[in-house]
Amino acid sequence: MRIPTSVAAFDVIVNGGVPSGSVVILAGEPGAGNLEFSFTSAAKLSLARNNEEFRKFIVMDMEDIYLPEGTLYVSISKSGDEVLRAVNLTFNEDLATAFRDNLVIKDLSSEYFRNSIVPRKWLSSDARELLRKKENLLQEFVNIMDEGADGRIVIVDSLTDLVTSPRIQFLDLVDVIKGLRKVAKKWNTVIYLLLTTGILDTREENLLFDSVDGVIIFEWQGSRYSKRFRYMYVLKFVGLMSHLEEERIARFNTTLNRANGFVVVNTEKIR
């Protein structure tokens, strides 16, 4: 069973979508498109799920395609309002509305900033929320995934926040991700973990990459003195690499627009 990414040119090459139960790191340079990829996937899956007319343009007509019933958005340091504001600024009204359909946002920002230098009044107007005793941050994350991931596309924004938190042991986080990779095979889901590249050292980054099913890289090409282009390529992905090899795909040239979100405009092939 496969779940479409809803990035049309990409889905065609990978035989309709990514295997259900995949845990995928979307690793990118700042602004290169990993966040917008996840936004676009969730919004267009929603359009396809709710509108038969749109479905034929978004999803390939194949027997083993599954459309998740909604989206679980786990925000580590942003409030739900911040997430929705970003979506509204990224998309036109139709895509933004589709993104919000059957959306569950779990906001861990109060727990993330607990005991930090950040003033409480910046985080919440409800003092009781900040004072309420909870599990530690990583356990809260595990609880949310366990309770709400099955049957939904999951966006974790962001893995960067988790790996840089002084309250989380890095190897504990790696164990949790490996556990997610196991249990996700029982869930009708794809889990996208957003990670900023260049934050971790090579060893730590490779440990994370080795702990998931797929790694998609988003990067800029060019310089401040010339036009810059966004590119995407698949570093690894269980179940997809053979399709990419057969098509001799090296990378995808991508762009963003409000009407269509994240778009593949061209594919570069190995010569």
Q: Give just the sign of the alpha carbon dihedral 204, 157, 190, 41.
A: negative
What per-residue confidence (pLDDT) applies to 56?
A: 83
pLDDT tens, 141-197? 999 999 999 999 999 999 999 999 998 999 999 999 999 999 999 999 999 999 999
Tell me the residue type at 182.
K
**Span 72-118, pLDDT tens digits:** 999 999 999 999 999 999 999 999 999 999 999 999 998 888 877 87
Q: What's 65's DSSP letter?
A: B
pLDDT digits (tens, 9 = 90+) for 3-56: 999 988 899 888 899 999 999 999 999 999 999 999 999 999 999 998 888 888
38 vs 57: CA distance, rounded Å: 19
- 126 has pLDDT over 80: no
User: Where do the domains of the chain lie?
Assistant: 2-269
- For residues 27 and 215, what is the distance between their CA atoms, to the nearest angstrom? 7
Quote the DSSP letter at residue 171: H
Q: Given the DSSP bridges, would you call strands 103-107 and 249-257 parallel, antiparallel or unpaired?
A: unpaired
**pLDDT exceeds 60 at position 202:** yes
Spatial separation of the C-alpha atoms in residues 77 and 254, rounded to whole Å: 27
- Which is higher by pLDDT, 127 or 53? 53
User: pLDDT tens digit string along 212-245?
Assistant: 999 999 999 876 656 689 999 999 999 999 888 8
The domain defined by 2-269 folds into: Rossmann fold (3.40.50)
User: Which runs of consecutive H residues, i.e. helices, occur in the chain?
Assistant: 8-13, 34-50, 52-58, 80-90, 93-100, 109-112, 120-123, 127-131, 137-148, 159-164, 170-183, 202-210, 241-246
DSSP secondary structure string, 19-53?
ETTEEEEEEESTTSSHHHHHHHHHHHHHHHHH-HH
